[in-house]
Structure 1
Amino acid sequence: MPTRIELQTEDGAAPAFVFGAENAPRVLFLIDGIGMRPAMHALAERLSSEGFYVLMPDLFHRLGAYTAPDPRVLFSDPEVRAAWFARLKGTTADTLLRDIGAYLEHLGSGQVGVTGYCMGGRLALSAAASYPDRVTAAAAYHPGGLVTDAADSPHLAYDRIKAEVYIGAATDDPSFTDAQRTTVADVLARAHVRHTIEVYPARHGWVPADTPVHDEACAARHWETLVALFRRALSK
């Protein structure tokens, strides 16, 4: 069973949950853009059962108390989707990344693995770039927004990554296109980052069991790659 804790960030207390034995290899688990809910707990619990100590903070702590939307409604109803993302305007890439230091502080001074889904996947890679001496392995599943036209596009920092990287992309995902995958791969290759980018025959959001695009076979493959990455990188 997880333990609920609170972590102090620059913008206040962030609720978080820890799973697994404290003496196990440490993993920071970054939730998707739908918010904290049972499906995220199930993923973190499963990861801890593979022999890891997992910290799962609520990335949306700036909202205060909230109820995550039903993913099936969020995916199908434009009004619900617009209303939810309007609430998240204060949760920006900058504020999310600003919190990472507090999360890593809880995990101690040793090496950690980071994994994330959707928005959390993008943040996992940014965390690896921002804390290259702490993050040994970084995984991102159906991430979006890795490559943008902005001067501070996330991919521009990936040459600072020292971690081994795994990215699980989706064949049907306008937020991470073929061209963007090539751009990310080029940056990582030029920086000599050990990496794998695998394209799954699925749609954006396939891992969590509560989304309408959940794919059981692809989710099983995700577990194989994630556990293998962390066992390999965190056992050094």
Structure 2
Amino acid sequence: MCDEITAADNDRHLAEAGVSRRQFGAMSGAAGLVMMLPAPADARPVAGRDVAITTPDGDADAYFVAPRTGKSPGVLIWPDIMGLRPAFRQMADRLAQSGYAVLVVNQFYRSTRSPFLKPGESFDQPDVRARIMPFVQALGTDGTVRDATAFVAFLDQQPQVDARRGIGVTGYCMGGPIAFRTAAARADRIRAVGSFHGGGLVTEKPDSPHLLIPTTKADYLIAIAANDDDKAPTDKTTLRGAFDAAKRPAEVEVYAGTMHGWCPPDSRVYDAAQAEKAWARLLVLLGKAL
């Protein structure tokens, strides 16, 4: 099936995921090379485990981690197009050390278990790109909404999660628009949304993620890569206008000097200083909204 995918198919599916061909290339570092992130100064002891979550479309593999004692607000992480892998497990652990019960998911469970890239494989390799595009196609917008509902329900069922408090959701690259859709699908529970170099937050489609903002009850952090802003300089203005009109608190910022994909520590365009700034702003958002 992968051999039958054309360049036009690739471009169309990338667009559906909110990722341009240029952005895709910026994320083409070898899988498995992960910078070690610093632990919080007051890091809590945490415990993590692999989990399987039943959804209407099958069992999703995921990673759940939380402080060893007490109950904590829940946070759902949608990874970028490279999927659930060591870098995102490390990011989940770090967030849990800061006092949150964190679920990071394999959004491509319909097609493959995670991790699906081997050391040395990269997105700029045509055969790897052709292998991944069907994963994106199998997910789809409706699938993300079904998944979001199941994943939030899973968090609320965990004894480590304080279900009396709101839930946060973060998304990276293609996870950005999915985070918006999660906030709309579970407006009763989602109180904070963080999008980091999110692709396709503003489109001309009738179901564009930014049009969902009035249906949500969350505070937002929108961290935009500088080269994404160069490509679509009006998106930030559109987003700010949508947040203002909906009276939703939002921080929308272009991170100077960054390239699409700068936050995960295994990205070849990882920017440690700006990634730490974005992380700090995320902690402020979660601390205020949850």
TM-score for the superposition, normalised by structure 1: 0.91
User: Structure 1 residues 87, 128: CA separation in 2 closer, same or farther (over 3 Å shift)?
Assistant: closer
- Structure 1: unaligned runs, 5 residues or longer: none
User: What is the identity, as a one-letter code, of the residue corresponding to 2:65?
Assistant: F
Question: Which structure's CA Rg is the greater one?
Answer: 2
Q: How does 1:1-236 map to 2 (within 5 A)?
A: 1-21=47-67, 23-65=71-113, 67-69=115-117, 73-108=121-156, 109-110=163-164, 111-173=166-228, 177-201=232-256, 202-234=258-290
User: For residue 140 of structure 1, what is the amino acid of its counterpart?
Assistant: S
Give the conservation status (yes or no) of the 8 Å contact 2:52–2:60.
yes
1:194 shift after superposition? 0.5
Deviates more, 1:208-217 or 1:82-91: 82-91
**In 2, Cα distance between equivalents of 1:178 and 1:159:** 23
- Length, aligned pairs only: 234
2: CA distance, partners of 1:126 / 1:101:
10
Higher relative contact order (CA 8 A, sep 6+): 2
| % identical aligned pairs | 35
Higher strand share: 1
Please state whether the residue corresponding to 1:204 is helix, strand or coil.
coil
Task: Find runs of 4+ consecutive structure 1 residues off by over 4 angstroms.
Answer: 70-73
8 Å CA contact retained: 2:229, 2:254: no
Quote how far apart the aligned CAs of 1:53 are.
Answer: 0.7
Instruction: Give the Å deviation of 1:68.
Output: 2.8
State whether residues 206 and 214 of structure 1, in contact with CA within 8 Å, keep that contact through their aligned partners in structure 2.
yes
Deviates more, 1:59-68 or 1:5-14: 59-68
Deviations 1:74-105 (A, max 9, x none): 35435533432234211112211211111111
Give the AA of the match of 2:178.
L
Conserved in 2, the CA contact under 8 Å of 1:169 and 1:176? no
SS in 2 for 1:214: coil
RMSD (Å) for aligned C-alpha atoms: 2.0
TM normalised by structure 2 equals 0.75
